[in-house]
Amino acid sequence: MCHRTKSGRVGIRRPLAVALLVAGSTLACGPARTAALDDMRQERVLLHRNAPRGMEFVPTSSASGAAGTSKRLKVKVAIEIRLDGNPVDNAYSSLLPIDVNGNGAFEYLHWNGHRIMRVYGRTGKKLWQITNRSGRRTTPALYQHRDQAAVLDLDGDGKDDVLHCWQSGSTKRLVVRNGATGREIRSIGMPGQSLSTGALCRISVYRKQSDRQPIILLSQTQPGGRRACGGRNYTDNWVRVAAFDRKLKRLWATNTCDAGHVTAAVDRNADGYAEYVFVGKYSLDFAGKIRCRLAGWDRSDHVDAVRVARLDPRSANPQVVAVGRTSGGAFDPRTCRRLWSVPVKNVQEMAIAQLDPAPAPLSIIVTRRSYGTLRETTLVLTSKGRKVRTIHAEIQPMQNAQLDGNRRTDELMAMFGVVYDRTGKVLLSRDWYWGLGGTDTRTRSLDDDFNKWTAYPVLFDMDGDGREELVTWGRKRIVEGEFR
């Protein structure tokens, strides 16, 4: 039975949540389950997106979904926005959807490091822009990696704001900016924090179970410069987790050398609010206490990808799956106890998806990095870690998605927005946007490709009609594609 309970969700577009009591555990279900999943699909983009390291898992298939066929996808260019500015800076920018006026349709936040940030409306009009001519830039040296930011309402007026890293002179800052005007709402200085090209901005925002308020997690370097953390004092490793409230009041900071590149929240009762979080290999509560560290993980090695999912739908307990250079496997999130190990070495990319029709257990897709070689490196594992299939393509999975006619199985979206079905067949290539604006379509190398278009487009319901669009950007354009 489902019990309806009101939840006053802050800054979230769907206010209702419903809980189901099953064998001592509370799981959301029914309309509220759907609403919570819609929220989570938004939040995995708006609040904690680090797509080059993979997106958090959110269920997108269900046993009651239509069992149509998995067919080739078509995308039509719906919106094309001309970008001004340095084409290389544009290609190496990040992008997030932002609803600046709270009407349910999303505008485009486009920024590069601490150098330039702007918002374009859906008609292509630039709504605002800030520049810092001497600010840190993300450049080709960063390869596929980009700065993060978060989009949420932080001043309570119902309209999205931007939470991002910036700088004044040689001081790094954490800034909250009005999404509609670009005006700074508040900021704090972070003296001593690196402003090097590689000092990536890592921000994850979660909604805490305890009070349903957002908590801001920011990766900072530790004092001690290059010597700290065994010479790996990098923000990209989440070496120190600093936490702030929505007013940017500092709550706590916890040292976590060699943690990993990404975070993943544990939502035990599936109501959309997090009970605790994994920051790479460390599980932290929202008071900053380290709950546990993934069992058997090398002290000096970090986690490359980490996801949380209920791998077997018959179980009320979620699992945490993590991969990296020295280790990989599934763990009990409550204790960090290892449940099984990934049967191959040096896996750095991973996604969780519903590859067998729901309600079958989920699959785990792991890829060994070998850019440009012909080695078969993408493996499909069962929820118990057994290898069931090798996909004869190097798929760098970014996320699971629901895009085709079969709503009982997920599709996989990978680099450059290429979509694969469960067998590794390409359902959507990048052809629909690659040649726009005269970009040379001949590929000389992957490095060239990174200079043309982002490797990690955004999949998001931009116009609020319940269907996701695909937004990509490159040297001279932002393009929004509609699935047909």
Q: Give min distance, CB of 269 to Ca ion, in A.
A: 5
Check if the beta carbon of residue 414 is closer than 8 Å to that of residue 428: no
For position 465 contacting Ca ion by CB under 5 A, the verdict is yes
Check if the beta carbon of residue 63 is closer than 8 Å to that of residue 359: yes
21 contacts: CB under 8 Å, gap ≥ 6: 1, 3
Q: Which is nearer to Ca ion, 9 or 240 (CB)?
A: 9
Pick one of 2, 102, 128, 155: the residue that binds Ca ion (CB under 5 A): 155
For position 467 contacting Ca ion by CB under 5 A, the verdict is yes
For position 153 contacting Ca ion by CB under 5 A, the verdict is yes
Pick one of 80, 301, 332, 463: the residue that binds Ca ion (CB under 5 A): 463
Q: Give min distance, CB of 131 to Ca ion, in A.
A: 23
Q: Name all contacts of 461-469 with Cβ < 8 Å and 24+ positions apart.
A: 461/41, 461/42, 462/97, 462/105, 462/106, 462/122, 463/104, 463/105, 463/106, 463/122, 464/104, 464/105, 464/106, 468/41, 468/401, 468/403, 469/78
Q: Give min distance, CB of 467 to Ca ion, in A.
A: 4
Q: Give min distance, CB of 469 to Ca ion, in A.
A: 5
Instruction: Considering only the stretches 50-58, 224-232, 318-326, 455-463, report the one whose residues sit in contact with Ca ion under the rule CB under 5 A.
Output: 455-463
Specify the residue for token string 């726009």: 436
For position 99 contacting Ca ion by CB under 5 A, the verdict is no
Q: Give min distance, CB of 212 to Ca ion, in A.
A: 10
For position 209 contacting Ca ion by CB under 5 A, the verdict is yes
Check if the beta carbon of residue 483 is closer than 8 Å to that of residue 73: yes
Check if the beta carbon of residue 452 is closer than 8 Å to that of residue 444: no
308 membership: H or E segment, kind and range: strand 305-309
For position 107 contacting Ca ion by CB under 5 A, the verdict is no
By CB under 5 A, the residues from 402 to 431 that bind Ca ion are: 404, 406, 409
Is 82 exposed, middle or buried, given 0-12, 13-18 or 19+ CB atoms closer than 10 A?
exposed
Q: Which is nearer to Ca ion, 379 or 413 (CB)?
A: 413
By CB under 5 A, the residues from 158 to 177 that bind Ca ion are: 159, 161
Round to whole Å and give the CA distance between 316 and 90. 44
Check if the beta carbon of residue 203 is closer than 8 Å to that of residue 151: no
Q: Which is nearer to Ca ion, 184 or 301 (CB)?
A: 184
For position 447 contacting Ca ion by CB under 5 A, the verdict is no
Instruction: Considering only the stretches 26-34, 154-162, 427-435, 470-478, report the one whose residues sit in contact with Ca ion under the rule CB under 5 A.
Output: 154-162
For position 461 contacting Ca ion by CB under 5 A, the verdict is yes
337 membership: H or E segment, kind and range: none
For position 286 contacting Ca ion by CB under 5 A, the verdict is no
Alpha carbon 102 to chain centroid, angstroms:
22
The secondary structure of 181-209 as a DSSP string is: T--EEEEEEETT---STT----EEEEEBT
User: Which of 317, 324, 319 lies closest to 342 in space, CA to CA?
Assistant: 324
Residues in the chain: 484
Q: Give min distance, CB of 351 to Ca ion, in A.
A: 14
Pick one of 273, 276, 286, 331: the residue that binds Ca ion (CB under 5 A): 273
Round to whole Å and give the CA distance between 16 and 477. 38
Round to whole Å and give the CA distance between 470 and 481. 5
Q: Which is nearer to Ca ion, 257 or 401 (CB)?
A: 401
Q: Give min distance, CB of 58 to Ca ion, in A.
A: 14
Binding residue count for Ca ion, defined by CB under 5 A: 17
Q: Which is nearer to Ca ion, 70 or 255 (CB)?
A: 70
Pick one of 21, 76, 84, 157: the residue that binds Ca ion (CB under 5 A): 157
- Kindly provide the b/e burial profile for residues 116-144, where b requires at least 16 CB atoms within 10 angstroms of the residue's own CB: bbbbbeeeeeebbebebeebbbbeeebeb
Q: Give min distance, CB of 382 to Ca ion, in A.
A: 19
Pick one of 99, 236, 271, 349: the residue that binds Ca ion (CB under 5 A): 271
Q: Give min distance, CB of 357 to Ca ion, in A.
A: 9
The amino acid that residue 339 corresponds to is L
Q: Give min distance, CB of 60 to Ca ion, in A.
A: 8
Round to whole Å and give the CA distance between 349 and 378. 9
Instruction: Compute the half-sphere exposure of residue 375: CA atoms within 13 Å on the CB side of its CA.
Output: 9
Q: Which is nearer to Ca ion, 100 or 342 (CB)?
A: 100
Q: Give min distance, CB of 342 to Ca ion, in A.
A: 25
Q: Which is nearer to Ca ion, 161 or 356 (CB)?
A: 161
For position 267 contacting Ca ion by CB under 5 A, the verdict is yes
Q: Which is nearer to Ca ion, 89 or 153 (CB)?
A: 153
Instruction: Considering only the stretches 155-163, 247-255, 281-289, 384-392, report the one whose residues sit in contact with Ca ion under the rule CB under 5 A.
Output: 155-163
Check if the beta carbon of residue 62 is closer than 8 Å to that of residue 480: no
Q: Give min distance, CB of 191 to Ca ion, in A.
A: 28
Interface residues with Ca ion (CB under 5 A) are 153, 155, 157, 159, 161, 209, 267, 269, 271, 273, 404, 406, 409, 461, 463, 465, 467
